[in-house]
Structure 1
Amino acid sequence: MRSVFWKVLRRGAALLATGFCIPALAAPQLETLRLPPGFRIEVLTDQVPNARGMTLGDFADGRGVVYVGSRNAGKVYGVEIDKGRATRVRTLASGLEQPVGVAYRDGSLFVSVVSRIVALDGVGRGLDKPPVPRELNVRFPSETHHGWKFIAFGPDGWLYVPVGAPCNICEPDERRYANIQRVRADGSGAEVVARGVRNTVGFDWNPADGSLWFTDNGRDMLGDELPSDELNRVGKSSEHFGYPYCHQGDIPDPEFGAKRACKDFTPPVAKLGAHVAALGMRFYTGRMFPAAYRNNIFIAEHGSWNRSRKSGYRIVRVEVDQAGKALRQEVFAEGWLQVDPGGQERVWGRPADVLVLPDGSLLISDDQAGAIYRVSYGGGA
């Protein structure tokens, strides 16, 4: 036992010297994961405790940085990648309040911190001496209930920031809560882009037409099967997607549904299932996967927390046509949730976000295992 202890201690010291953390005790169990034929999944790194939102930094010749946020860990990480392999992980900021969202632009990393957005200016020049976070001149509500935020820069150059409902079900001020907003890179010009959005923790823009698509988590306490999480498409500015009056496009809320009819709101493009906790989503813009996957949507389903039988804990693929219609959805990767022959459920990981690398491979963050996985096709690098 003593020799094992010293081996672990020496290994931890060596990893710390290279910028890594001591490994988690529970290693990712890749042998349980199932993907379509031809696809391969591997651990890019398991040194990112509570990994959530991801964004690409500068990449050239297969080398670059992926920035990663967290929720409960309060940290932001930089993962250096060289041709599909993680070479080093650095902690760039710590002690932040639920810094889930990260967005990179012109050498600076923008991070969501519940009521604020901070920027690490010049972080793209190197990770050894990360800059002190600078606050943008913008404020959001301070409630932590659905207060964590996925953020991203849109094709228009604006930073998109969601503000979740401060409750499971309530009727908040639509100008402040349950919406998606956008601000300029300096924090000015805040405006609402979409309303009636309970809690989105993932969105992306369709490369075919530039439209904004987002996942939305349905309300709790209506039973195991209702309502479904949603995949939505924004067709015009300040569109309303139903919360708190209507869920999944056709279920009036028992408390607020009498105030406004479901027909008054934009219905979801697809229903993703009840309580699957659909979080990060990205359109697949790479070239590594087969052509049939081009411009499909990959969605990380974090998994249910209060359903009698668990749902989610997987990656789903949604096929979309040129008209912006969801044609079908199917499971792409699963196995983080294991069910034994006796029906006992065991969860060893929870997918939180997805990200396409320049080489066409797909990254998946897992906040329970503290890991990022890389999915490739056909043995590609």
Structure 2
Amino acid sequence: MIRFGILATAVVTSLLMLINPVSANDELLARLTLPKGYELNYFAKNVENARQLAVSSSGVVYVGSRKAGKVYALIDHNQDGVADRQIVLAQGLNMPSGLAFNQGDLYVAEVHRIIRFKNIDKQLTKPTFEVVFDKLPTARHHGWKFIRFADNGELLVPVGVPCNVCAEDEKYGRIFSLNLESKKLTTIAQGVRNSVGFDINPQSGALWFSDNGRDMMGDDIPPDEINRVSFDGEHFGFPYVHGGSVLDPEFGKGKTLADMQKYTAPKLALQAHVAPLGIHFYRGKQFAKVMHNRLFVAEHGSWNRSEKVGYRVMMATIKEGEITAYEPFISGFLDKEQTLGRPVAFAELADGSLLVSDDFANAIYRVRYNNK
């Protein structure tokens, strides 16, 4: 199994601007609750549709977007935990949600291709990119991506299915490993409806990923999922079995319990429609020791449920490859049925503080531990 270490047609422009000052009395921040000893501030505001994050060795925070079609760079010049400059590296892209860093280069996943900004930290005011792979499917339904590099230098790229539920060909419903030299795609996981987040367990080396379950089966089924990959090509059930226990009313017809057991069940079956996106194993040393190696999960929140669920950041405790606890870490993004924010993805700064993106509030939060 792979282990992590971790000019085109669009018009590219660069916009340098000051980010609005952060208010200590912001109403949303006042509503958010965290465990005792943890505090949260805005690292950046007005980052339209902020999605996946990547941090360079010099501390520049790069942000992808989905609906906005932009890639941003956020710079905290005085290192006070608040970004004071925002640069729009590119705009007019095709849902450039996923970002990954490798040897000083920034890789960005659009729906249909992977592009690269070479030596990006030194090219911020005049950024250009090149296309490094353009053979991904063009379907935009579940086409936005989350990417990450593996130890062997290959890029992990998910391709969601272009539907609510369907049996598609081998181009969809998978997490691939892309060799950027040979351009070869290798299937790491299949039977995956739509994963927009994965990470490596730093203790075991295993790949863990989130998966969003199908819609239109009611409020309470099927579960969303947190999964662990045990071998390359492992099948996680879609579209036949959902959450390890729910047969699809169309594609699961005629299947038995024995058939269900051929597919890998999730390590954690989540509440239906919470929409887990980014997941992240905490590696830093700034948080309390008990938090080390906890798995943080961004529950983006439901869109087609009679009562909304999700809209929070959760944390999972993992022991010997099993999830033994699943608890809230940041709550308050939902006020009754009013959406205030939708967490998406995570990144760590050099000081061990945790960044969380929010594509609804157009913000990046920074969480730190204050044991005083």
Could you tell me the TM-score, scaled by structure 1's length? Answer: 0.88
Please state how far the C-alpha of 1:379 moved relative to its aligned partner: 6.4
CA deviations over 1:146-187 (Å, ceiling 9, x no partner): 0001111123321000000110011111x2100000112346
Please give the secondary structure, in 1, of the residue aligned with 2:83: strand
Aligned partners of 2:178, 2:246: CA distance in 1, in Å? 32
2:16–2:87 Cα contact (<8 Å) kept: no
Please give the secondary structure, in 2, of the residue aligned with 1:29: helix
Choose which of 262, 265, 270 in structure 1 pairs with 2:263.
265
CA deviations over 1:189-237 (Å, ceiling 9, x no partner): 2111100000000000110121110000000011001111100000000
Please state how far the C-alpha of 1:247 moved relative to its aligned partner: 0.4
Write out aligned runs for 1:275-314 (5 A).
Answer: 275-314=273-312
Please give the secondary structure, in 2, of the residue aligned with 1:85: coil
Aligned partners of 2:151, 2:270: CA distance in 1, in Å? 26
Q: Give the match for residue 205 of structure 1.
A: 200
Aligned partners of 2:195, 2:254: CA distance in 1, in Å? 23
Aligned partners of 1:140, 1:18: CA distance in 2, in Å? 32
Aligned partners of 1:158, 1:17: CA distance in 2, in Å? 31
Aligned partners of 2:284, 2:81: CA distance in 1, in Å? 14
1:66–1:80 Cα contact (<8 Å) kept: yes
Choose which of 190, 195, 203 in structure 2 pairs with 1:195.
190
Letter of the 2:142 partner, please give it: H
* Residue 135 (structure 1) aligned with residue 127 (structure 2): no
Q: Which moved more, 1:275-284 or 1:255-264?
A: 255-264
Please give the secondary structure, in 2, of the residue aligned with 1:136: strand
Measured on the aligned residues, the alpha-carbon RMSD in Å equals 1.9
Choose which of 101, 105, 108 in structure 2 pairs with 1:104.
101
Aligned partners of 1:252, 1:162: CA distance in 2, in Å? 24
1:196–1:244 Cα contact (<8 Å) kept: yes
Letter of the 2:153 partner, please give it: G
Choose which of 353, 356, 370 in structure 2 pairs with 1:364.
356
Aligned partners of 1:186, 1:29: CA distance in 2, in Å? 46
Please give the secondary structure, in 1, of the residue aligned with 2:199: strand
Letter of the 1:378 partner, please give it: N
Choose which of 342, 348, 370 in structure 1 pairs with 2:340.
348
Please give the secondary structure, in 2, of the residue aligned with 1:54: strand
Q: Give the match for residue 140 of structure 2.
A: 144
* Residue 160 (structure 1) aligned with residue 156 (structure 2): yes
Letter of the 1:349 partner, please give it: G
Please state how far the C-alpha of 1:355 moved relative to its aligned partner: 1.5
Aligned partners of 1:156, 1:326: CA distance in 2, in Å? 28
Write out aligned runs for 1:46-65 (5 A).
Answer: 46-59=45-58, 64-65=59-60
Aligned partners of 2:95, 2:162: CA distance in 1, in Å? 15
Choose which of 307, 316, 330 in structure 2 pairs with 1:333.
330
Please state how far the C-alpha of 1:18 moved relative to its aligned partner: 5.8
Write out aligned runs for 1:41-80 (5 A).
Answer: 41-59=40-58, 64-80=59-75
Please give the secondary structure, in 2, of the residue aligned with 1:169: coil
1:138–1:188 Cα contact (<8 Å) kept: no
Aligned partners of 1:101, 1:137: CA distance in 2, in Å? 14
Which runs of 5 or more structure 2 residues have no equivalent in the other structure?
Answer: 1-13
* Residue 376 (structure 1) aligned with residue 372 (structure 2): no
1:40–1:379 Cα contact (<8 Å) kept: no
1:300–1:352 Cα contact (<8 Å) kept: yes
Aligned partners of 1:136, 1:356: CA distance in 2, in Å? 27
CA deviations over 1:287-336 (Å, ceiling 9, x no partner): 11111111110011110001000000000000011x21111101111101
Which runs of 5 or more structure 1 residues have no equivalent in the other structure?
Answer: 1-15, 340-344
Aligned partners of 1:360, 1:129: CA distance in 2, in Å? 30
Choose which of 302, 317, 325 in structure 2 pairs with 1:319.
317
1:74–1:95 Cα contact (<8 Å) kept: yes
Please give the secondary structure, in 2, of the residue aligned with 1:31: helix
Please state how far the C-alpha of 1:358 moved relative to its aligned partner: 2.0
Aligned partners of 1:162, 1:99: CA distance in 2, in Å? 13
1:54–1:67 Cα contact (<8 Å) kept: yes
1:281–1:298 Cα contact (<8 Å) kept: yes
Could you tell me the TM-score, scaled by structure 2's length? Answer: 0.91
CA deviations over 1:30-87 (Å, ceiling 9, x no partner): 000011110001011103110001112123xxxx111100000000001113252313
Letter of the 2:339 partner, please give it: V
How many residue pairs match? The answer is 351
Please give the secondary structure, in 2, of the residue aligned with 1:292: helix
Closer, same or farther in 2 for the Cα pair 1:46/1:110, shift >3 Å? Answer: same
